[in-house]
Amino acid sequence: MFHDKTIVITGASSGLGAVLAEAFADQGANLALFSRSEDRLEEIGARCRERGARCLAVAGDVARAEDCKRLVDRTVSEYGGVDYLVANAGVGMWARFEEVEDLEIFRKLMDTNYLGVVHSVFYALPHLKKSKGMIVAISSIQGKIGVPLHTGYGASKHAVQGFLASLRTELDGSGVDILTVLPHWLRGTNMRSNAFGKDGGLLGPDSKRHSKESISLEACSHAVITAVEKRKRELVIPFKLRLLLWLNLIHPGIVEWLVKRKLEIQEK
C-alpha cells in the first residue's frame, strides 16, 4: 500500500515517530524524517535505508514555520510530492498549574504541539491535494479528557482537535482525509523525561513505571498504520477508551474521578 508513497514524519528521531518510520520503510515508502535532533535523526534514517527505503533526514523545529516550509520543499524536490503527512512532534508537561514558576511553558507547548501541526499542514496541503493524500495527527486522549498536571499539554491537544475538525470541513470533496490519533500513555518514549516541569526546565530521567494500561510503541504503530490504510477519521488506542469518551459525555464527574484516581496510583 505504501510502496513508493512519500511520507513526511515530524518528531521522527525517537518514540512513536521513529517506530512508524521503520514500519513504513519496511513497506517501501519514500520517507522524509524531521526532528530537532540531527544526530538521532540520521541514525533513524540509516535504519530505514537499511530496510531498503529511500530516506531524507531534515533537521528543524516544527515551531518555526520556515523550517516546516524547508522540510516540504526538500521533500517535493527529492520525491516530487507528498502523499502522507504524519504530524507527530510533541512535548509534554508535568506540573500543577498553581505551582508553575515559568508561564513560558504554555507558549512553548502551543508552539510545538499546536502550531507545529498548523505549520506542517499549511505547507504540505497543496501537495496533499494533488495526491489526494492524508494528514495523520498524533494527538492524545487528553485532547478530549482533562488530566491533572497536564493543563498546558491538554490545552494544546484540544487546539489540535479543533483545528483539524474545522479543516476537515474545508477539505470536504478535495480527496484529502484527516486521521486524528488519540492514544493512551505510550511505553518506551522519552515523553515524561522531556516534559516541562514547574520551573520551565525538563524533568529529566524518571524512575516511575508506566501504567499497566500503557501501550507499546509497536502496538500503537501497527494500529496507526492500519487506520491509515482504511483512511479512518479517528483512532482511539486502546479501543476500550472509547467507553471513557462516551461516559464523559453523559457523566463527566465520574470520568474526572476515574482519571484522578488512575494518576494518583501511577504517581505512587
Residues with catalytic annotation? Answer: 153
| Amino acid at residue number 161 | Q
**C-alpha cell belonging to residue 127:** 501537495
- Selection from 24, 30, 92, 32 nearest residue 59 by Cα: 32
Dist CA 21 CA 128 (whole Å):
19
The backbone torsions φ and ψ at residue 132, rounded to the nearest 5 degrees and listed phi first, read 50, 50
